[in-house]
Structure 1
């Protein structure tokens, strides 16, 4: 099984939605890793977006929306006014009066973006994200032998990338769990849990360790067609639990 098949299989089996969390330590637990597999999303509808067809809506209610952002499109507007962004395009396609992004993804990262459709629900949306586990699935170059490790450093934003500093930077902490190694094809599949929310911190930590994410054009070798890094959001309960209002039935 190659790295792309491993990446697809892990996502298909929802192994990313999963980890039991120690409430005291707030870290990955050892033992039966996949004992609590939760499939909490089903695709509710597909919409067409210029240059990025078949945008998948995983959840939509009167107040909230989860959609899968493809790689190569920014979440928000950039300095280039002619460049399309995911939020504006989605708002136009769905004819929404209001759409606010709750979480953010890098340009080359694909995955779920959490939107608030009702300005009166902004605080509630922020609280949902704050109480969520922020877990990423990634495929790296090289065989990582460590099963469970944490990377910590201080970083500072540069023009296109972040840099490690010893003073004046922001602390970045990422916890990793290795799911699979393949020495023959020289790749590893990991889960990454954010303990801080710094720009590019997962990509930077893995690159500094010598295992850049495949497809990373900034911190890696740029020898893959896309960045193999995707985020998942899991709330303290289940993402479709009482934390969110009921999904729309008319889809």
Structure 2
């Protein structure tokens, strides 16, 4: 019975994985301002020129192809010089991935300031790793771990039309974050607006375009990273 249960879980994690859309991913790979390294632990995007001392370890949502976030986070690399490491969670589920933050920060050893963040369930996992980072960024997500007693800088980005991590759910979990946490709601954004993987069951309907969404994330996260000591 135990073997069957484990096999069932493994099969479930491999079925219905939401693939990265081809066109946005191709555009990132063709961007000469971004250098990409595909490691077994994660996708590393670095500025093609110049030093990068700030980095973001980004944890994907459940059963979403990590490459689906490359385009949405590309502006941070090309415009703000931030190194982005998109993790490859074990079995496509962040909660099954027990590796420490250092597994991913080691992929960019020259970075001295690290933000950790994630989308949806990936953000919940990021909260568990947050005390090992310099700051936390939540993308359509919220914490289940209480970090309200820390002085960790936190940025929470949500979508006004998110049908999964709804504005009410994010507000209800706000007490688990430090009092200084910043909250920004992007008008017209749905849950799936935070990546390029198509629509998602139970989600709202986005009215913001993909380029506008990328620009919003770049501005919010880039400004937040620049404000860190």
User: Which interval holds the TM-score relative to the shorter structure?
Assistant: 0.3 to 0.5
TM-score computed with the length of structure 1 as normaliser: 0.30
TM-score computed with the length of structure 2 as normaliser: 0.32
Which has the larger strand fraction? Answer: 1
Which has the larger helix fraction? Answer: 2
Rg larger in 1 or in 2? 1
